[in-house]
């Protein structure tokens, strides 16, 4: 089926940092984009995610603005060059928008409901999907030689359970910050702050009144911290440190997100070219 991007939008499930990189690349290429997100997003890189629009009503990443909207506001929002963000719609509601392309960017490491046939072209990011079963194409999200590669058969590399190495820093203690207890996060540093090894980055106010500290496992810049209104559980990712110690990286789309966005753009354009050639 030929996809019509002038009439029907690209719908991205999820509005985290990878989804945001994809949305920005597609919008820059002239494609209308709509994002969906849960009512309390779990994103930690909040300065570079359109999920922040759920909390603030509107947010800006680089030169692109996203706004939390109701379904009836989508058309006017797109007409102003702003990316609409819908909060927690059910799958049937999503499909009622008749998207030309549907992209699953939830990054749950499993399929949470996306199916082939949900749109003329269905693309999924990362592990948990199989081409021809769940979607038409998969984009590799694991750092390394294949990052951003479009897979038209098979699946992405399995989830390693560990963050990939950042370019130029080699192996370091895990830069991911996890909650030791259930509760809510109270930040002691802002995203972009430089923190030293052992510094208290945040405390967790537990439901029972207990307060637990989260300390820096290495020296670096605080690249992300979960929103303070989100309930967290033990072991949950709540933040991210960057050992490259450049605060500018906290406020621009990452190399990984751009690579994955480039893969999605390639998949969309490849599909359009192939479908036009066969008609």
pLDDT band for 1, please (50, 70, 90 cuts).
very low
User: Which of 7-11, 73-77, 149-153, 196-200 is predicted least confidently?
Assistant: 7-11
Burial 112-131 (b: 16+ CB within 10 A, else e): eebeeebbbbbbbbbbbbbb
Phi, psi of 44 (to 5 degrees): -100, -30
pLDDT > 90: percent of the chain = 76
Q: Where in the chain is the domain with CATH 2.40.50.100?
A: 176-243
CATH class of the region 10-161+254-277? alpha beta
Was domain 176-243 assigned CATH 2.40.50.100? yes
Confidence at residue 114, expressed as pLDDT on a 0 to 100 scale? 92
* The model scores a pTM over 0.85: yes
Q: Is 214:35 a contact under the CB 8 Å cutoff?
A: no
Q: What is the pLDDT of residues 210-252, one digit of tens each?
A: 789 999 999 999 999 999 999 999 999 999 999 988 899 999 9
| Mean pLDDT value of segment 38-42 | 94
Q: What is the pLDDT of residues 57-104, one digit of tens each?
A: 999 999 999 999 998 899 899 999 999 999 976 555 666 778 899 999
- CATH 3.40.50 positions along the chain are 10-161+254-277
CA–CA distance, 175 with 177 (Å, rounded to integer): 6
Beta strand pairing call for 137-139 and 121-125: parallel
232: β partners: 183
């Amino acid at each position: 089926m030929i996809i019509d991007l002038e009439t029907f939008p690209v719908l991205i499930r999820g509005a985290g940092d990878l989804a945001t990189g994809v949305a920005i690349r597609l919008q820059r290429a002239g494609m209308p984009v709509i994002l969906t997100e849960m009512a309390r997003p779990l994103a930690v890189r909040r300065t570079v995610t359109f999920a922040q629009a759920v909390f603030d009503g509107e947010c800006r990443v680089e030169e692109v603005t996203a706004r939390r909207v109701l379904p009836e506001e989508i058309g006017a929002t797109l007409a102003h060059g702003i990316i609409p963000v819908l909060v927690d719609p059910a799958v049937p509601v999503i499909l009622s928008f008749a998207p030309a392309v549907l992209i699953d960017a939830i990054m749950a490491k499993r399929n949470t409901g996306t199916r082939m046939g949900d749109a003329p072209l269905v693309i999924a990011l990362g592990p948990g999907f199989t081409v021809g079963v769940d979607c038409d194409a998969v984009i590799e999200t694991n750092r390394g030689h294949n990052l951003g590669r479009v897979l038209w058969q098979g699946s992405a590399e399995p989830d390693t359970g560990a963050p990939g190495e950042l370019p130029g820093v080699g192996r370091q203690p895990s830069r991911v910050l996890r909650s030791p207890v259930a509760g809510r996060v109270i930040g002691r540093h802002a995203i972009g702050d430089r923190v030293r090894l052992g510094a208290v980055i945040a405390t967790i106010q537990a439901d029972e009144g207990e307060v637990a500290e989260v300390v820096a496992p290495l020296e670096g810049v605080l690249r992300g911290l979960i929103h303070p209104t989100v309930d967290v559980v033990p072991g949950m990712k709540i933040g991210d440190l960057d050992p490259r110690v450049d605060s500018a990286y906290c406020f621009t789309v990452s190399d990984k997100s751009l690579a994955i966005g480039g893969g999605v753009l390639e998949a969309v354009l490849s599909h359009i070219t192939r479908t036009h050639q066969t008609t």
